[in-house]
Chains A and B, each alone.
Chain A
């Protein structure tokens, strides 16, 4: 099967008055359908840049990106970015509204998502009345509403406290697998990357180049929280930690 997404020698240089910043160099990856990939790397190395280029918010400087025909991308950021003047339902319908696809059928789909993922009672509430974890779930449903095939998640849980973070990453994982989506997730949390992903890409310091790619295979593959208890977990953690070559 043809890969759903093919990135070939991607390169990005930022220009501003102070000078130029080489953020990404020679980044290549082929993504299979249904794959959950994490990208880890030192902060400021160019992880967000890669996602921004993929979803068209930044222009690449060089390289090729091939997306299989009719494959749509959905982007989810660290901040939920919910509009305080819109109800939860209206927030989730934003993407459909902007793309002029606000049909009854699509609306049903969004309602179904909200219901399935425990937000049914809040559809007419405003975001200010929701907890951080719930808001993040709403943000994910807003991204899913336009039915993207690949989700790009940029540190989606960083704004949450540790316990909420574990619970929400479990939820999000379930939602993504349940809706049979592919996903690329940027994170700086190694445990999160290992417990959620099929593959972990380790990047070098800026400019981001691929240092290593680890396929994650657990003996009792299940939910992210359970995966953390697998015996392979610690050894993956060790290897990636060494790759990151972190010095205080």
Chain B
């Protein structure tokens, strides 16, 4: 049994936790209520600003037409494909660059340029080259996520403690062993943060691609909505995007918990 002080301390922590949670919920609830009230009393123009009820109606409508889930699934699918490919390819390239220091020095300026280049600018070219379709969208998202993955994962390799490398060498480790038994496990942290960044990077790429290609997906719904001035549809699209992004982010957090067992 704990002392009275400690019990009070635990109570305080619990109380704070609840307070934070209640505030978080309150913010969204109040936001929705105020928004709805403003709309009901015609203080804002629902034609431009929409309203929670209209968004709900739109969702129900979309739910009744059968291609709603098709649109969501397309976006999710494109994101997952580009995310996975971007991560794998990025890790492979980062490994090659770590393995071959000279190659890294050669590629370094190009990586920097590619990283600072806003990849949206390449959108039109990619569409011309590989057609206005899913292929272009995935390519664009892949391109965005792969560069940032290379940089983050390589950075992780660079942060590995030099004395640990020395230790491995003194125990007679080969380069392959150093890679597998030291570099990979010790840069797991950077790898995870690369994953987290990648989820949003891929999603940005996909939505951008869908804006440009404008055939299907959540990005298309938003684009289409804005073109026909259906703001209900635009806001619904953004709302669904929020949910999709959050779910994907928490999936990565789940993976993180599974991967890091020590400490």
> Beyond A85-B185, A85-B262, A126-B262, is A95–B171 a contact (Cβ under 8 Å)?
yes
Stretch at the interface among B3-11, B80-88, B160-168: B160-168
- Whole-angstrom distance between the alpha carbons of A104 and B169 in the complex? 24
B: which residues have CB within 8 A of A? Answer: 161, 163-164, 166-173, 177, 181-182, 185-186, 188, 261-263
**Interface SS, A side:** loop
Tell me what chain B mostly uses at the interface: helix, strand, loop, or mixed.
helix
CA distance A79 to B161 in the complex (A): 10
Q: Are A57 and B186 in contact (CB under 8 A)?
A: no
Map CB proximity to B onto A23-53 as digits: 1 under 8 Å, 0 otherwise.
0000000000000000000000000000000
Q: Does A81 sit within 8 A of B, measured CB to CB?
A: yes
A210 to chain B, nearest CB (A): 24
* Docked-complex contact A128 and B170, CB < 8 angstroms: no
With A and B bound together, what is the CA distance between A170 and B164 in angstroms?
25
Chain A residues within 8 Å of chain B by Cβ, number: 19
Q: Which residues of B contact A95 (CB under 8 A)?
A: 171-172
**A14 located at the interface, meaning its Cβ lies under 8 Å from any Cβ of chain B in the complex:** no
Supposing A94-B171, A95-B171, A98-B173 touch, asked if A84 and B166 sit within 8 A by C-beta, the answer is: no
Check B164–A83 contact: CB distance below 8 A: yes
Contact A55:B173 (CB < 8 A) given known A83-B186, A85-B262: no
A128 B173 Cβ-Cβ under 8 A: no
13 additional A-B pairs beyond A74-B170, A75-B171, beta carbons within 8 Å, are A57-B166, A77-B163, A81-B166, A81-B167, A84-B262, A85-B262, A94-B171, A97-B181, A98-B168, A98-B177, A99-B171, A128-B262, A128-B263
